[in-house]
Amino acid sequence: MVPVAPSLIDKFSSGEEVRIAGLGDSLTYGWMVERGFFDRFVDALERRFPEAKISRQNHGIPGDTSEGGLARLDEVLAWRPQAVIVEFGLNDCFLSVPPGEVGRLQSLLARRIQEAGGTPVLCTSCPLLDAGEMKIVDPYYQAIREAAQAAKAALADLDRVWRETVPITAEYFLEDGIHPSDRGHEIMSRGLLSLFI
In 61-159, beta strands by DSSP E: 83-87, 119-124, 154-157
Q: Give the span between the Cα atoms of 56 and 146, in whole angstroms.
A: 27
1 occurs within a structural domain: no
Q: What is the CATH number of the domain that holds 163?
A: 3.40.50.1110
pLDDT at position 28 is 98
User: Is 165 domain-assigned?
Assistant: yes
What is the domain count for the chain?
1
Count of CB atoms within 10 A of residue 188's CB?
29
Range of the domain at 17: 6-193
Q: Which residues pair with 87 in a beta bridge?
A: 24, 123
Q: Which residue has the higher pLDDT, 21 or 195?
A: 21
Q: 32-75, pLDDT tens digit by residue?
A: 999 999 999 999 999 999 988 999 999 999 999 999 999 999 99
Residue type at 130 in one-letter notation: D
Of 48, 149, 158, give the one whose Cα is nearest residue 106: 149
pTM score, two decimals? Answer: 0.96
Residue in 89, 86, 84, 182 with CA at minimum distance from that of residue 127: 89
Report, as an integer, the average pLDDT of 122-127.
98
